[in-house]
Amino acid sequence: MLRLLRYLKPYLLPLLLAAGLLFAQANADLALPDYLSRIVNTGIQQGGVENAAPQAIRQEQMERVLLFMSVEDKAAALAHYTLVAQDSPDYARYLEQYPALADGPIYVLNDVEDAAMERLNLSMGRALLVVFNLEQALADPAKAAEMDSGMGFDLTQIPAGMDLFAVLGQMPEAQRAQMSAAIDEKFATLGDQMIVQAAIPAVKAEYEALGLDTARMQNQYILRMGVIMLLLSLLGVACTVAVGYLASRAAAGVARNMRRDVFEKVESFSSTELDKFSTASLITRTTNDITQIQMLIIMMVRNVFYAPIMGVGGIMRAMSKGSSMWWIIALAVMILISLVIIVFSIALPKFKIIQKLIDRLNLVARENLSGILVIRAFNMQSFEEQRFDKANTDLTATMLFINRLMVTMMPLMMFIMNGLSLLIIWVGAHQVAQAKMQVGDMMAFMQYAMQIVFSFLMLSFMFIILPRAEVSADRIADVLETDPSITDPQAPKEFPTPFKGTVEFRDVSFRYPGAEANVLCGVSFTAQPGQTTAIIGSTGSGKSTVVNLIPRFYDVTEGAILVDGVDVRDVTQHALRAKIGYVPQKSTLFSGTIESNLRYADKDASCEKLSLATQIAQADEFINSKPEGLESEVAQAGANLSGGQKQRLSIARAMVKQPPIYIYDDSFSALDFKTDAALRKALKEYAASSTLLVVTQRVSTIKHAEQIVVLNEGEVVGKGSHQELMETCPTYQEIALSQLSMEELL
């Protein structure tokens, strides 16, 4: 996978932008449970009251609250509140907000920092809670009898109509310090959060005394939290869409560049490299393998960046809601990691063979489609069906095994998540009952736990996709890192001017890569311009190999091939092949029109040149018989043309190029004798000054050639004209007599 990282470099900025958006999305998603907790804790349970320190408090009530605060807390409280009376400049504004201001002065809370508010909440909460309980006890004798004040006197003994708070205010300082210590001791069993929560009813009672609509306050708080949650959700959706767009753009761009580079690399391959990679394998690597990489990039951008943020952020926020239940998340994470490791270890070996099975399936399908006529001719449909079924079954069985393994993961993950929810509810319920946790915090903790589990679930799917993509990446990198065996020289030479087209084989030997023996041994001859040099021999004698060495489809093992006295290895491949008109043994046409195939040799060729080339190749007759003429459609590989028609169009294509050297590799085999004779006659006149190299098995085609080279098992066993070889070369005599009578040969 690391071998292809360079393809991500052009898309580094979009990927970083996607990472930033994912960070924003993760924070938005992580904030939702916290706001839900606020709705439950503050909006529902606390009636929309957030703090134990009220926003406003009557002067009379403030004086009572200060009685139960230490000197330091009293000073801090007075510093954070401002007394508002009739002579205050903001009296009218506060009167509208707090109607009870008309009956007497009130204290209004200033803007307080979070740290100071946290301390003020505790001090005001304790004092308010004491005052509120005392007021309820004084109003209800039954409750006063049950209440243990812890202040050194019995509330039931206080005479009716006596102002208890006035009495407490006249206490000596030492007795009041003792009273404060007793209050602190009573609240020591409660946590800070529970003290604040317990003081909320007192704050609500004070708000009602100030004339505020507490029901409206509660509705406004819940609505405000709901709007924030909606906005966070919309932000998450927008980030998701943006990340999906950026990831898709980056992945598609990487895949496009990869396909382009693989195609260009294959275009530079010599026949040696093409023999190493099968056609079916190259097709699979260019399509399926690159698609795997494209999917991996999308998944990585979406999950690899997002899941860790969610996992780490979820753990941190969950600990803030219920630190005593950390072990539940740790247990779930350990189980998930164990499950992923088990599945990964089982599936990895299977992923490594999937791409090879796809190669095999493509190979069988390609052979069946290209050889359908042969299959039907020999009634081998059932055999080919079995062969395809075997490749298909092997791939299906492997895919089914992996899919079954993947299918088991989702139920197991859901089981873990449901079990985790039950465990959190069971443990959290005990925490709530013991006043160690609020209901909203328990709900938020459960949601954070689900988010943590889902983050590990997303990472687990990455571990499942990664092995197959890694195999695909290695296969693509193998192609891209394969160096062509035939390369241009660093300091290329140029052909002499004027160019003649002399081709000389000088003691040439050749061995195919990996072969144990030479195919050609010591081949030497010279093809002169203005002459036809024919190469003939039995099947497997090396005829096609000889002509394939001239345009450097392969490089010679020993010896040298010289064109106009220059070794073909000393010039660029483009310069060499620009001088050659090549007609392969198997005619290859491309989908398009007849004209587009002819212009393959020269895109700027005039219509007159195209017409002349088709006349020389004896192709004008069947072209003119078509209604569209040169605009007639050519199917893929020329499937809608006969073998003879394809050969004539291939010859015409070489004619359009008008090169100084022509190579015909058994290019007249599909032509009848009449067409063959007419074509050779026209060719001789048209290319009178060119060098013609003709590979053939027909003696009649080369009887009038100036030079005939006879090959047998890779060696030159005869060289000369037809008459000379009939007298001196037994191999040529044997070939000739097997095709023509003695009278025809003379």
Looking at the predicted structure, is the pLDDT value of residue 658 above 50?
A: yes
Q: How far apart are CA 608 and CA 616, in angstroms?
A: 12
| DSSP letter string, 101-123 | GGGS-EEEE----HHHHHHHHHH
Contact 683, 616 (CB under 8 A): yes
Which of the four pLDDT bands, split at 50, 70 and 90, describes residue 523?
very high
Confidence (pLDDT) at 141: 59
Does residue 383 form part of some domain? yes
Q: How far apart are CA 692 and CA 689, in angstroms?
A: 9
Residue range 39-66: mean pLDDT, rounded = 87
Non-local (6+) Cβ contacts of 404 within 8 A are none
179 shares its domain with 115: yes
Looking at the predicted structure, is the pLDDT value of residue 275 above 80?
A: no
Per-residue burial over 66-86, b if 16 or more Cβ lie within 10 Å, else e, is: bbbbbeebbebbeebbeebee
Span 610-636, pLDDT tens digits = 888 889 888 888 888 888 888 888 888
Residue range 143-172: mean pLDDT, rounded = 56
Number of domains in the chain: 2
**Which tokens go with 670?**
């599909």
In Å, how far from its chain's centre is CA 44? Answer: 45
Confidence (pLDDT) at 150: 47
Residue range 307-313: mean pLDDT, rounded = 84
Span 467-502, pLDDT tens digits = 778 878 888 988 888 888 888 898 999 999 889 999
Which of the four pLDDT bands, split at 50, 70 and 90, describes residue 711?
very high
Q: How far apart are CA 441 and CA 438, in angstroms?
A: 5
59 shares its domain with 123: yes
Confidence (pLDDT) at 562: 94
Cα–Cα–Cα angle for 181, 186, 188, nearest 5°? 90
Looking at the predicted structure, is the pLDDT value of residue 191 above 70?
A: no
Does residue 85 form part of some domain? yes
Query: What is the average pLDDT value for the chain, to the nearest integer?
Result: 84
191 shares its domain with 274: no
Strands (E), 490-616: 503-510, 520-527, 532-537, 558-563, 566-567, 580-583, 592-593
Backbone dihedral region for residue 518 (phi beyond 0: left; psi -120 to 50: alpha; all else: beta) = beta
CB neighbours of residue 37 within 10 Å:
24
Confidence (pLDDT) at 149: 47
Which of the four pLDDT bands, split at 50, 70 and 90, describes residue 182?
low
422 shares its domain with 304: yes
462 shares its domain with 313: yes
* Of 33-37, 140-144, 353-357, 376-380, highest mean pLDDT: 33-37
Looking at the predicted structure, is the pLDDT value of residue 154 above 60?
A: no
Q: How far apart are CA 230 and CA 224, in angstroms?
A: 10
User: Phi and psi at residue 507, in whole multiples of 5°?
Assistant: 50, 55
Confidence (pLDDT) at 146: 53
Non-local (6+) Cβ contacts of 654 within 8 A are 581, 582, 583, 601, 662, 664
Non-local (6+) Cβ contacts of 700 within 8 A are 673, 676, 739, 740, 744
Is the bond preceding residue 498 a cis peptide, omega within 30 degrees? yes
* Range of weakest confidence among 5-14, 144-153, 196-205: 144-153
Residue range 137-163: mean pLDDT, rounded = 55
Looking at the predicted structure, is the pLDDT value of residue 527 above 90?
A: yes
Which of the four pLDDT bands, split at 50, 70 and 90, describes residue 242?
very high
* Range of weakest confidence among 11-15, 210-214, 637-641: 637-641
**Which tokens go with 468?**
């197959």
Q: How far apart are CA 610 and CA 598, in angstroms?
A: 7
Which of these three, 462, 480, 498, is where a domain ends?
480
Q: How far apart are CA 410 and CA 417, in angstroms?
A: 10
Which of these three, 480, 505, 534, is where a domain ends?
480
172 shares its domain with 285: no
10 Å CB burial of residue 522 (0-12, 13-18, 19+) is middle
Does residue 573 form part of some domain? no
Does residue 517 form part of some domain? no
Q: Which residue has the higher pLDDT, 136 or 404?
A: 404
Residue range 434-448: mean pLDDT, rounded = 81
Which of the four pLDDT bands, split at 50, 70 and 90, describes residue 413?
confident
pTM: 0.73
204 shares its domain with 277: no
In Å, how far from its chain's centre is CA 729? Answer: 66
Which of these three, 480, 507, 523, is where a domain ends?
480
CA torsion, ordered 51, 53, 58, 61, to nearest 10 deg: 120
Residue percentage of the chain with pLDDT more than 70: 91
- Chain position carrying tokens 């009848």: 672
**Which tokens go with 566?**
């220059």
Q: How far apart are CA 144 and CA 158, in angstroms?
A: 10
Non-local (6+) Cβ contacts of 204 within 8 A are 47, 49, 214
Residue percentage of the chain with pLDDT more than 90: 22
Which CATH number covers residue 428? Answer: 1.20.1560.10
172 shares its domain with 103: yes
281 shares its domain with 403: yes
Q: How far apart are CA 65 and CA 206, in angstroms?
A: 12
326 shares its domain with 184: no
Q: Which residue has the higher pLDDT, 515 or 59?
A: 59
Span 339-394, pLDDT tens digits = 877 877 777 777 767 867 887 888 888 788 777 878 888 888 888 889 889 989 98
Q: For residue 107, what are the domain limits?
A: 52-212
Confidence (pLDDT) at 425: 87
User: Phi and psi at residue 332, in whole multiples of 5°?
Assistant: -65, -40
Q: Strand 532-537 to strand 691-695: parallel, antiparallel, or no bridges (unpaired)?
A: parallel
Does residue 192 form part of some domain? yes
Q: How far apart are CA 264 and CA 479, in angstroms?
A: 11
269 shares its domain with 124: no
Span 530-570, pLDDT tens digits = 999 999 988 888 898 999 999 998 899 999 999 999 999 99
**Which tokens go with 623?**
């072209």
Residue range 587-601: mean pLDDT, rounded = 88
Q: Which residue has the higher pLDDT, 165 or 261?
A: 261
C-beta contacts of 338-342 below 8 A and 24+ residues apart: 339/409, 339/412, 339/413, 339/416, 339/460, 340/456, 340/459, 340/460, 340/463
**Which tokens go with 301?**
């951008």
Contact 529, 690 (CB under 8 A): yes
CA torsion, ordered 633, 638, 644, 648, to nearest 10 deg: 70
Does residue 269 form part of some domain? yes
Does residue 415 form part of some domain? yes
Strand order in the sheet with 661-665: 580-583, 661-665, 691-695, 532-537, 707-712, 715-720
Residue range 417-442: mean pLDDT, rounded = 82
Confidence (pLDDT) at 408: 78
Span 726-739, pLDDT tens digits = 888 999 888 888 88
Does residue 733 form part of some domain? no
308 shares its domain with 456: yes
DSSP 602: -
Between the two ends of the chain, the Cα-to-Cα distance in Å is 68
Q: Which residue has the higher pLDDT, 603 or 173?
A: 603
Q: Strand 566-567 to strand 558-563: parallel, antiparallel, or no bridges (unpaired)?
A: antiparallel
Q: How far apart are CA 715 and CA 538, in angstroms?
A: 12
Confidence (pLDDT) at 190: 65
Which of the four pLDDT bands, split at 50, 70 and 90, describes residue 176?
low
